[in-house]
Each structure stands twice: as structure tokens, then as C-alpha cells.
Structure 1
Amino acid sequence: MNPAGTGETHEVGRLADRIAEAVAGCPDVAALAGGPVATYLAGRSVAGVAVREKEVEVALVARYGRPLGEIAADVRTAVEALAPGLTVNIRVEDITLPDPGTGPSKPEPGTGPSKKDITRPASGEVSPERSGDAPVSP
């Protein structure tokens, strides 16, 4: 496929549209990212999807929660089904945070770290978890 080619621009545009739709349908994708990653066509562009001769590049905004590698793998699988034989590169440009009303709830009282968890050992030595800290005198 040659996006700048003579007779394949329409085909590239349809492929870019189908890829954009498939990526937007992935549950952990909030949106396709705007910016330099795009397929430029006569009179329009498909933001977040660049269809090139040997590769497809997708730039997206992920939803907060799952590991980004897992989200990228899901997107790659969806794109590879539409563009077999092309290398698929995924760029996570941003991450959206959940709305404050729908985000994780506050911990129940008594379930957070205990005083023992956040204080120094009685000997005054630096704990292994906080090796960069200096001893503090009482």
C-alpha cells in the first residue's frame, strides 16, 4: 500500500477509517490521539492512525487502570486483523483518569498502613524499604 500512490488513496482511507473504528472500540481506549500521527487524505485526515507502505502506527489515549502493555496488545490484535502483513506500532500519548465520582473508593478506616509500617526500626537504622532516608532522632 502506498498512501501517496496514484490509485490506492481511496483504499488507504478506507483502511484507516476501519482501523480507527476498531481501535476506538477497544474498551481501554478513551480516544485516538490527535497530533502528528494521522493518515492524510484529499480533503480530510484520520487522526491517530497512520497507514504507511509497510506499517500502521496508532496513537491513542488510554483509560487508566490496566497495564499499558496489555492495552497495546489488545489494540495491536485488533489492527493486525485488518492489516495483515503490516507492522503495527502503538503509541500511548496520554492516559485519562476516572471521574472522581466513579474512581476507586477511599480505603476503609483501619485498612491503611499502620503506624508500625511507617515508622523507623527501634535501633534507628535505615529500613531496607527506605534506604535513602537518614536516621531521625526522637
Structure 2
Amino acid sequence: MTERDRSEDIADAVLAIDGVVGLHGGMFGEAATYLPGRRIAGIRIGEDGTEVHVTLEFGVAVRETADNVRSTVAAMVDGPVHVTVEDIVRV
């Protein structure tokens, strides 16, 4: 069995937030955590903080939803959390 990575816990918490419809790998797929045999798109944990790239549902309050993502992830990691809204889609 593969050990669960912190990035997977972060991804699950972010996807549970109302208005978040998905994680986004960025324009070139660069926003990701690479693990043995798998990749967690939209989450990148680095020395300068944690990046979270999301796709939101059309009609949600973008700033409030991004703030919710930021505070949720900040409770799980040390350091700053940078949230990027990559796309907004109709569901």
C-alpha cells in the first residue's frame, strides 16, 4: 500500500470546499506534487510556501472562496499559502 502524502490530504480538503470544482495544474501542468507513481495536480509544497491552484464554479464569490481555500490550507501547513484561481466553469 502506498503511503499517503500531505499533498493528498490538502487536495481532499480543498475539493470539499463549496464552490471549488477541481484542482488545476496550471498553464503547463507545472503546479503539482510529484510522488512515486502518481501526481497531485494543483498542489505544490515548497520552501517558500504552499501553492494551491483551483477551478471554481461560475457564480461563487471568487475572493471569499479563495480566502476559504487559503484558511483551510493554512491550518494544515506551515508558511504562507498562495491561492491561484485558474479557471471558472459552469457546472
TM-score, structure 1 normalization: 0.58
Q: What percent identity do the matched residue pairs reach? A: 36
Describe how 1:1-138 pairs up with structure 2 within 5 A. 14-34=5-25, 35-83=29-77, 85-98=78-91
| Larger strand proportion of the pair | 2
State which structure, 1 or 2, has the greater radius of gyration over its C-alpha atoms: 1
Structure 1 residue 63: deviation in Å?
0.6
Higher relative contact order (CA 8 A, sep 6+): 2
CA deviations on 1:5-51 (whole Å, 9 max, x unpaired) are: xxxxx7xx621000000000001101011321001122211111001
Which consecutive unaligned segments of at least 5 residues does structure 2 have?
A: none
Structure 1 runs of 4+ off > 4 angstroms?
none
TM-score normalised by structure 2 residue count = 0.85
CA distance in 2, matches of 1:53, 1:86: 8
Equivalent residues, number: 86
Unaligned 5+ segments in structure 1 are 1-9, 99-138
2:39 & 2:80 partners in 1: Cα distance? 21
